[in-house]
Amino acid sequence: MTVVALLGNPNTGKTTLFNELTDNYSYVGNWEGVTVEKKVGKIHHSEMMVVDLPGIYSLNPITKDEAVAVNCLLHDSPDIILNVTNACQLKRNLLLSIELLEFGQPTVIALNMIDDLKRSGIAYNLGILSAKLGCRFCTTNARNKEGLEQLKADLLNSPTQATEPLALNYPSDVMNSLDVASMQLVQQFNYTETFARWLTIQFMNQNHQVRQFAADKHLHPLLNQAICYDQQDYESQIFNTRFDFINEVLSDATEQQSLTNKANITAKIDYWITQPLLGLPIFVGIFYLMFKLSFDWLGTPLSGLLDSFISGPVSHTASALLTQLGAIPFLKSLIVDGVIAGVGGVLTFIPQIFILFACISLLEDSGYMSRAALVTDRLMQMFGMNGKSFIPLIIGFGCNVTGIMAARTIEQPKERLVTTLISPFISCSARLPIYGLFVAAFFQKNQALIVLSLYFLGIVVALLMAKVYQWLFKIKESSVFIVELPKYHLPRLDIIAAGTWDKGKGFIKNAGSIIFAGTVLIWLLSNLGPQGVVTNINDSFCAWIGQAALPIFQLIGVTSWATVSALLTGVLAKEVISSSMIVLFHLSGQTGLIATFSTLFTPLSAYCILIFILLYAPCFSTLSAIKTETGSIKWAAYSLISNTVIAFVIAMVVYQVGSLFM
Amino acid sequence: MMQLNYVEPSHPTVIVHQMTQLDNSTASRLHNLGIRPGSELTVLRKYPFHGPVIIEFDAQRIGIRYTVFTALLGGD
Ligand SMILES: Nc1nc2c(ncn2[C@@H]2O[C@H](COP(=O)(O)OP(=O)(O)OP(=O)(O)O)[C@@H](O)[C@H]2O)c(=O)[nH]1
C-alpha cells in the first residue's frame, strides 16, 4: 500500500485536507499546532494511506510535536510527500518545501487557501513553479472542497519511486564539503546518494534530530566535520541560498498583482479585538457570554426537559416493564435506581456540555484562540509561562487529557511540564454535572456566576501553582513566544458541529463505560455488606468506607458518609461523583436529590465541596496522560497526592473562615 | 453589520538589523517564518508596558514579545 505523508507549516489546512481526502474525521482548529499526533486514513476508493502529521516550520524540530513529523520522514520513509502550503505565505512555506524536495521522494505541493490568495489579487503560474522546483503543483481550497479531485488524481498518478531531488546552488565551500561527506557516506554506509546528500545538508543545518541520528549510527564523515561546519556558519549560508532562490522563483512565477481595494476584514476585526485596553475585557466578556448561554439561557432549561423525560417516562416504563417480566426486586432496583437514575442523571447534562463545546469550537474555528494567547501572554508571563500555555488550559475545559496533549506545542520542556502539571486544576466538562446538581439546589439565582467562579478559581489555582513550580524548577524568564495570527474565518456550521461532537463524544462514551461501571459498583457496594444483601444502607460496605474517612471530611463541612463515598469514586471519572450521589441517596434523577441536599449541606459547605471536587485528584485518564507526557509515573503519583492536599487545604480554609461569618 | 468608524491606520515599518542577540530557538523560529536581517516589518500594534508587539510581513501577522522586537532592531 502506498503511503502519503501530509507535511506542511502549521495551520495550513492539512487536517482539513486529510478529512476531505480520507474516510476519517479529525479535529480542525484555526491556530497553529492543532494536530499533535499522527493520524492515518485511507483515500476514498483507493489503496493509498494518508498520514496526517503535526505542522512543522522546518525539518529541524523545536517542539515535541514537530519531532513526530521529522521522525516519520526519517524512519517510516513515506512513498509520496504531500506538502500542504498556505498560498498567501508561499515564501516561508517554500523554505520547508525545499527541505522536502531535497529528500528526493516524489512530492506534490498543494497551494491551499487559494481563495485567500485570489482575494489578495495575486496569482502564481503553476507551470513555472513546477519547472523550477521539479514537482507537481496544484491549487486547493480545502475548506470549500475545491480542487480536491485534481489533487487526488495527482496523488494517484504520482510515481512512488525516488525521483531526482532538488539541487540548489549552495556556496562553493558548502558544495565541496557536501560532495566529500556524502561520497563517504555512500561508500561507508551504503546510503543512496540522495539520502546521503540530504542527511549532510540537514547535518550542516544543525538539525538536532539528524545530529542525534548521526551520533546513534556513528556517521563519522559527518561527526568529524561538525565543528568545522559550525565555525564557518554553514547554517546561515544554506538559509540565505534557499531564501534567495525562493525570492527568485516567486518573482518569476507571480503573474498579476492587481491591487484590491477591498478593506481587509481580518485587519478590521483585529483592530478592535487586539486593542491594548479592550483586549482583556473582550476576552473576559466572550467567556462570560459562553457561560451564560450554557447555564442560564439555553443549557439549563434544555437539561431540565431531558431530566423530566428520563426520571419520568423512561424510568417508569422501565420499571413497569421489569415488573411485567418478573425481574427479582434486586435486579429491578439495580436497573431503575442504579443505572437509569445514576447514568441518566449524568446524561441530563448533555445540553450544557454540548453548548459549551459548541462555543469553544466556534472560537477555535474563527481564529480567535491565537489572539487570546496574545492578549494573555503578558499575564501568563507574570506566572512564568507564556500565552501559548493558555490554549491547552482552555482546551482543558473540555477534557484535561486533550489539554495536556495540546501542551506539546510549547517549546521549552520545563514550561511544558508546568503546563501539564497545572492542567488538572482546569475544570473539565466531567465536573459540570456535579456543579449543576449543587448549583440547582443552593444557588438558584446565580447559577452561571457560581459556575464561572469555580472555573475562575481553577484558573487562579493553576496559575499560582505555575508560579510555585517556576520557582521550584528555577525556570528563567526567557521563553519563546511567537504566535501566528491567522486570518479570521467566517465560522462554518459543519466544522463547529464536528468539533463539538469531537469533544463531546467522550462524555457520551464514558456514560456507557466507566460511569456505568462506577454506578453499578457503587450500587453493589451500597446494597451489599459483610452479611450479604443489606436492607439498611447504613450496614453496607459503602457506609463502612465512608464512615472511616468522614472525620477528616468534616473539616470541610461534609456531614454524611454517603458524600465521602461518592467523592472517592470520582477518581474513576469525575462524572461518577454525581451518579454515585444519586444512587447513594437512593433517588431517581436529580430533582429528588436536590431536596435531600438541603438537609445535608448549607450553601457554604456546598460551595466548599464544589471547590474540593474542582481541585482534588485527577481522574484515571488524566493521570495516565500525565504519565505518558512526562514519561514518568512519579509525576502522576505526585499529581494525585499534591492535588488532593491542595484541594483539601483550600476547601478547609474557605469553610473554616466562612463559618466565622455565617 | 454596522460600519464601525474604522480607518485603515498607517503603520510604521522597521527593518530587521540583526538576529544575533536572540536565543537559538527564537532565532530559528523567526528564520522559518521568513525573517532575516534586512526584512521589512510593519508594526501593527505595540501593547503598553512592554507587552507583545504585532508585526506584519509577507502577508502574515505574528505576535512577538517586546524584548525580541527590540533585539531585532539592534537593541535600541
Ligand atoms: N480560507 C481557507 N481556509 C482554510 C482552507 N483550508 C483550511 N482552512 C482553514 O484553516 C484552518 C486550519 O486548518 P487545519 O486543517 O486545522 O490546519 P493544519 O495544517 O492541520 O493545522 P495544524 O494541525 O495546526 O498543523 C481551519 O480553520 C480551516 O478551516 C482553505 O483552503 N481556505
**Which among A629, A648, A625 is positioned nearest to A400, based on CA atoms?**
A625
**What is the rounded average pLDDT of the residues B8-20?**
81
Model pLDDT for residues A222-257, shown as the tens digit of each residue: 998 889 888 888 988 999 999 999 999 999 998 876
pLDDT at A328: 81
pLDDT at A411: 67
CA distance B7 to chain A (A): 9
Is residue B45 domain-resident? yes
**What is the rounded average pLDDT of the residues A61-88?**
84
pLDDT at A272: 73
Whether residue A83 has pLDDT greater than 90: yes
CB pairs under 8 A between A and B: 97
% chain A with pLDDT above 70? 94
Q: Are A146 and A140 in contact (CB under 8 A)?
A: yes
Whether residue A264 has pLDDT greater than 80: no
- Check which CATH number belongs to the domain holding B44 and give it: 2.30.30.90
Whether residue A513 has pLDDT greater than 60: yes
**What is the rounded average pLDDT of the residues A52-67?**
82
- Give contacts of A 90-109 with B, CB under 8 A: 91-92, 95-96
Q: Cβ atoms within 10 A of the Cβ of A39, count?
A: 20
pTM attached to this predicted model: 0.77
- Residue B35, CA distances (Å) to A58, A73, A330, B39, B55 in order: 14, 26, 72, 6, 11
CATH number of A2-156: 3.40.50.300
Q: Cβ atoms within 10 A of the Cβ of A366, count?
A: 19
What chain A residue is nearest to B32 in terms of C-alpha separation? A57
Partner residue opposite B58 with nearest CB, options A91, A272, A279: A91
Domain boundaries, chain A: 2-156, 172-256, 281-497+514-659
pLDDT at A613: 93
Q: Specify the higher pLDDT residue, A212 or A405.
A: A212
Q: How far apart are CA A126 and CA A255, in angstroms?
A: 10
- Residue A332, CA distances (Å) to A277, A325, A336, A587 in order: 61, 10, 6, 14
| CA pseudo-torsion sign A361, A363, A368, A374 | negative
Q: Specify the higher pLDDT residue, A292 or A32.
A: A292
**What is the rounded average pLDDT of the residues A554-576?**
84
Is residue B5 domain-resident? no
Q: How many residues does chain B have?
A: 76
pLDDT at A308: 83
Model pLDDT for residues A377-409, shown as the tens digit of each residue: 888 888 877 777 887 887 788 778 778 877 776
pLDDT at B36: 87
Is residue B24 domain-resident? yes
Strand partners, A50: A4, A41
CA distance A62 to chain B (A): 7
pLDDT at A376: 82
Angle (CA) B47-B52-B54 rounded to 5° is 85
Whether residue A148 has pLDDT greater than 80: yes
Beta strand segments in A504-634, E = 528-529, 532-533
Partner residue opposite B61 with nearest CB, options A276, A411, A485: A485
pLDDT at A260: 57
Q: Are A424 and A440 in contact (CB under 8 A)?
A: no
Q: How far apart are CA A122 and CA A513, in angstroms?
A: 53
Whether residue B76 has pLDDT greater than 70: no
Whether residue B3 has pLDDT greater than 50: no
Residues ≥6 apart with Cβ < 8 Å to A37: A54, A65, A68, A405
Q: How far apart are CA A142 and CA A116, in angstroms?
A: 12
Q: How far apart are CA A618 and CA A629, in angstroms?
A: 15
Q: Are A483 and A370 in contact (CB under 8 A)?
A: yes
**What is the rounded average pLDDT of the residues A9-26?**
82
| CA pseudo-torsion sign A102, A106, A110, A111 | positive
Which residue blocks in A40-192 are alpha helix, DSSP H? 64-76, 90-103, 114-119, 126-133, 148-157, 172-189
Is residue B32 domain-resident? yes
The DSSP secondary-structure symbol of A263 reads P
Question: A183 burial class (0-12, 13-18, 19+ CB within 10 angstroms)?
Answer: middle
Which of A235-249, A317-331, A507-521, B4-18 has maximum average pLDDT? A235-249
**Which numbered atom of ligand 1 lies nearest the CA of A33?**
24
Q: How far apart are CA A632 and CA A28, in angstroms?
A: 30
Q: Are A222 and A199 in contact (CB under 8 A)?
A: yes
**What is the rounded average pLDDT of the residues A306-325?**
85
Pairing verdict, β A107-112 and A80-86: parallel
Residues of A in contact with B52 (CB under 8 A): 374, 377-378, 387, 481
CA distance A48 to chain B (A): 31
Is residue B56 domain-resident? yes
Is residue B4 domain-resident? no
Whether residue A28 has pLDDT greater than 70: no
Q: Specify the higher pLDDT residue, A572 or A606.
A: A606
Q: How many residues does chain A have?
A: 662
Q: Specify the higher pLDDT residue, A329 or A93.
A: A93
What chain B residue is nearest to A373 in terms of C-alpha separation? B63
pLDDT at A37: 62
**Which among A405, A295, A391 is positioned nearest to A351, based on CA atoms?**
A295
Q: How confident is the model at residue B23 (pLDDT cuts 50, 70, 90)?
A: confident
Q: How confident is the model at residue A262 (pLDDT cuts 50, 70, 90)?
A: low
Lowest mean pLDDT among A91-100, A216-225, A357-366: A357-366
Pairing verdict, β A482-485 and B60-64: antiparallel
CA distance B57 to chain A (A): 10
Q: Residue A208 is placed in which grid cell?
A: 538536532
Q: Domain range spanning residue B42? A: 13-72
The DSSP secondary-structure symbol of A310 reads I
Subunit contact A89:B58, Cβ cutoff 8 A: yes
**What is the rounded average pLDDT of the residues A306-313?**
82
Q: Which helix (H) or strand (E) holds A121?
A: none
Ligand 1: list residues with CB < 6 Å: A 10-16, 28-30, 32-35, 54-55, 112-113, 115-116, 140-143, 365, 489, 495
Subunit contact B49:A378, Cβ cutoff 8 A: yes
Q: How far apart are CA A659 and CA A534, in angstroms?
A: 37
Mean pLDDT, chain A, rounded, equals 83
Whether residue A69 has pLDDT greater than 90: no
Model pLDDT for residues A419-436, shown as the tens digit of each residue: 899 999 998 878 888 888
Out of 1.10.287, 1.10.10, 3.30.70, 1.10.3470, select the CATH number for domain A172-256. Answer: 1.10.287
Is residue B19 domain-resident? yes
Q: Residue A373 is placed in which grid cell?
A: 494567547
Q: How confident is the model at residue A655 (pLDDT cuts 50, 70, 90)?
A: very high
Q: How far apart are CA A388 and CA A371, in angstroms?
A: 10
Residues ≥6 apart with Cβ < 8 Å to A606: A438, A441, A442, A443, A597
Number of structural domains, chain B? 1
Q: Which helix (H) or strand (E) holds A142?
A: none
* Residue bearing cell 454506578: A519
Q: Residue A412 is placed in which grid cell?
A: 521549552
Question: A172 burial class (0-12, 13-18, 19+ CB within 10 angstroms)?
Answer: exposed
Model pLDDT for residues B53-68, shown as the tens digit of each residue: 999 888 888 999 888 9
Subunit contact B52:A378, Cβ cutoff 8 A: yes
Residue type, B16: V
**Which among A367, A364, A361 is positioned nearest to A486, based on CA atoms?**
A367
pLDDT at B1: 39
Is residue B3 domain-resident? no
**Burial call A375-394: b when 16+ CB within 10 Å, e when fewer:** bbbbebbebbbbbbbbbbbb
Q: How confident is the model at residue A258 (pLDDT cuts 50, 70, 90)?
A: low
Q: Residue A383 is placed in which grid cell?
A: 506566572
pLDDT at A614: 93
Residues ≥6 apart with Cβ < 8 Å to A632: none
Model pLDDT for residues A323-355, shown as the tens digit of each residue: 888 878 888 888 887 788 778 777 877 887 788
pLDDT at A479: 67
SS3 A297: helix
Tell me the DSSP string of A207-227: -HHHHHHHHHTT-HHHHTTHH
- ipTM value, please give it: 0.85
Q: How far apart are CA A392 and CA A410, in angstroms?
A: 10
